[in-house]
Structure 1
């Protein structure tokens, strides 16, 4: 993959740009393997799962800079000024095409870009997500609700310019700090969700729902977990940090006996999305709003955990150790926190492991391991 912005020194987000992709995967596997060496023997690793090295990303997070008459969409430089990077080789083709149609219309709305050094202005970010079917969700991150009428007046122009535009919302982030979005989300059209079709499941993303940014590799991750679950064939599965239900719904559909499947997620919007997908699939999955970190009761044969970078932590490890489910499937985006959690799960041993290159051109990674009691 080549990038003119990287070559010009405008963007260095892709830290492995210029390294042959095959070498990236080999090096990443070695790095992750070294971090987990005390827990995962070399022979337990399956070959890495890889997708495309470019054109894979389903989400664009664009910082808005410049001026009202000439906004920029991209990143901030060292002086916190906007750098225009409207295109990126990482974006899926449909997302890239949609941005090309969308950004000129957004520029014409007359929103004042947020000036970080001066702490003035309104439009902070534009977050755009693309689906496998070419539809888009566009989120305007604003400092206040004052500019909502401008966006509402421009909805018809936005839809005319971008035929696949499905969801438009405004997120209100009044604080001046390095937090991308705020608590308040206002949907500005008739549709509240973006359908994301992954293999046999259609997920329904609401604006604040988390979803993996690499759809092809996410599908591979779910298929791997489903294959392990089908092989073990437990009577019950609990998916913690379940998000929109990726692992839980795949567990419910995995071949084998009819099984009880439950999911726990702290974000109510994600739970609502997961319940909708389950209803459409005709599967009985018990999705509940809750904080997995303070879970004290586990009565399932197999537990799936997919935590944020910090891992599941000592308390949840202790709860799992006490409940002693037969198996744990742990999907991690941080091998270091995974290693710490494995230290806190002495009653389990890793029997399978696989690396998923979810974030090509970087050293970020996703790794999934299967743990067995005893």
Structure 2
């Protein structure tokens, strides 16, 4: 006999008291009313609020705060003037100590939800934070628009298509803000047209600025809807005059109706094609479209945590799967017997080979997937002792999990940007003979709800 479904006993528009128990994965407060989960944007753990249901489904409700009965001692005033509109940050109203504590709990919740692992029995460390958790992002990507005839640049508001003008983003490196604001003014002065998404007309779509924290180089990339650049020479003269420190000006053409920022064609308008940046002792050359970690200060801490977890003695064969331009592999290469890496993007492998050669590091780089190369190398008599994985938010492919279980490396170091997929993948690897030994959360993006983690799994 079928059991009737439990219906949510909350109605849209209903007001009710709620105690916030935890922080959700998107930075929202989580509480329970009549045993149903309620998500409340802006509420903090430990707070008692009166809220109003704004959306109700059969699994959960979302609500907004009507009034506070008890505020968290960690609540603070967000310093950004457009914090409530922008949607780029979620936690500016929470003290930084509170952010680090709650991010560790978000990782804990994921493992409680998807596994039966007792985290008290492993090395579960406190979140590694920043000394200065502001102005840390090395790349700014601002959409361009018009408001009352004035050129604006910023981000779209949460869950809407309203463009919020951001004169100064306080999580961006201050130089990227300066470049964006100056370019906006030059575009206004020269009357260069701005792209209108609805009409699919106009020239300038996005201003992308990247800064080398350690080299002081600036790269300006203009994403345009057309290749023909109106008043190009005048524009470049003004950039050179007003922003003499810019070392690279790039045009990227994206004529498609798409939410993707970059198109396929890139043209160097002036200066260098690539920006130079350093991580530790390593130098990297970055094209406008190349992926690179957005917080170089925390990246070094993240890679140090991965290297520590790998526990290399100089006797291990190491694989860096999802290697990109080779950053993590190069970071651990001095302690590896041999390093082999792969990535599905051919350009990334070409860059990785150059980066390794520039630092006199001998390594093998192949285009393709780890699930192809690991068994192939094993047949050739080469076996991985340690595999480092740094997958996208979707986590590891099931085929790679199966391959790892079949090829039996001694240790897997998993660098994760999504606690939920990390926990699910650890559960699957546990079934194949691996045991979680340590978890290290790292705060790569202060003021946001995102948290990275480094997990160490060892073969039983």
Instruction: Rate the CA distance shift 1:231–1:204 in 2: closer, same or farther, 3 A.
Output: same
Corresponding residue number in structure 1 for 2:288: 207
Residue 45 of structure 1 deviates from its aligned partner by 1.2
| CA–CA separation in structure 1 for the residues paired with 2:344 and 2:240 | 33
Residue 234 of structure 1 deviates from its aligned partner by 4.2
| CA–CA separation in structure 2 for the residues paired with 1:217 and 1:272 | 26
Higher Rg of the two aligned structures: 2
The one of 136, 139, 148 aligned to 2:221? 139
| CA–CA separation in structure 1 for the residues paired with 2:128 and 2:271 | 38
1:350 aligns with 2:425: no
1:34 aligns with 2:109: yes
Instruction: Rate the CA distance shift 1:202–1:109 in 2: closer, same or farther, 3 A.
Output: farther
1:282 aligns with 2:350: no
Instruction: Rate the CA distance shift 1:344–1:118 in 2: closer, same or farther, 3 A.
Output: same
User: Contact 2:180–2:207 (CA<8 Å) still a contact in 1?
Assistant: no
Q: Which runs of 5+ in 2 are unaligned?
A: 1-77, 378-382
Corresponding residue number in structure 2 for 1:44: 123
Residue 353 of structure 1 deviates from its aligned partner by 1.2
Instruction: Rate the CA distance shift 1:107–1:365 in 2: closer, same or farther, 3 A.
Output: farther
Residue 336 of structure 1 deviates from its aligned partner by 1.0
User: Contact 2:100–2:128 (CA<8 Å) still a contact in 1?
Assistant: no
Q: What per-residue deviation string (whole Å, max 9, x for no partner) do you get for residues 133-168 of structure 1?
A: 221122211223123x64465334323322332232
Instruction: Rate the CA distance shift 1:174–1:275 in 2: closer, same or farther, 3 A.
Output: same
Q: What per-residue deviation string (whole Å, max 9, x for no partner) do you get for residues 45-98 of structure 1?
A: 122111132111111110100179632111245774543213101012333344
Corresponding residue number in structure 1 for 2:347: 269
| CA–CA separation in structure 1 for the residues paired with 2:107 and 2:417 | 11
Deviates further, 30-39 or 227-236: 227-236
Q: What per-residue deviation string (whole Å, max 9, x for no partner) do you get for residues 329-360 of structure 1?
A: 11010111112222221221111210011111
> Which has the higher relative contact order, 1 or 2, with Cα contacts under 8 A spaced 6 or more apart?
1
Corresponding residue number in structure 2 for 1:71: 151
Residue 130 of structure 1 deviates from its aligned partner by 1.1
Corresponding residue number in structure 2 for 1:368: 454
The one of 199, 204, 214 aligned to 1:123? 204
| CA–CA separation in structure 2 for the residues paired with 1:68 and 1:188 | 30
| CA–CA separation in structure 2 for the residues paired with 1:98 and 1:176 | 27
Residue 225 of structure 1 deviates from its aligned partner by 1.7
Deviates further, 265-274 or 234-243: 265-274
1:235 aligns with 2:316: yes
Q: Which has the higher helix share?
A: 1
Instruction: Rate the CA distance shift 1:294–1:144 in 2: closer, same or farther, 3 A.
Output: farther
1:15 is paired with a residue whose SS is: coil
1:53 aligns with 2:129: no
Corresponding residue number in structure 2 for 1:86: 167
| CA–CA separation in structure 2 for the residues paired with 1:221 and 1:40 | 24
Instruction: Rate the CA distance shift 1:66–1:100 in 2: closer, same or farther, 3 A.
Output: closer
1:248 aligns with 2:329: yes
Deviates further, 193-202 or 42-51: 42-51
| CA–CA separation in structure 2 for the residues paired with 1:362 and 1:25 | 11
The one of 104, 112, 118 aligned to 2:185? 104
Alignment of 1:151-190 (within 5 A): 151=232, 154-190=235-271
| CA–CA separation in structure 1 for the residues paired with 2:404 and 2:384 | 10
Corresponding residue number in structure 2 for 1:330: 414
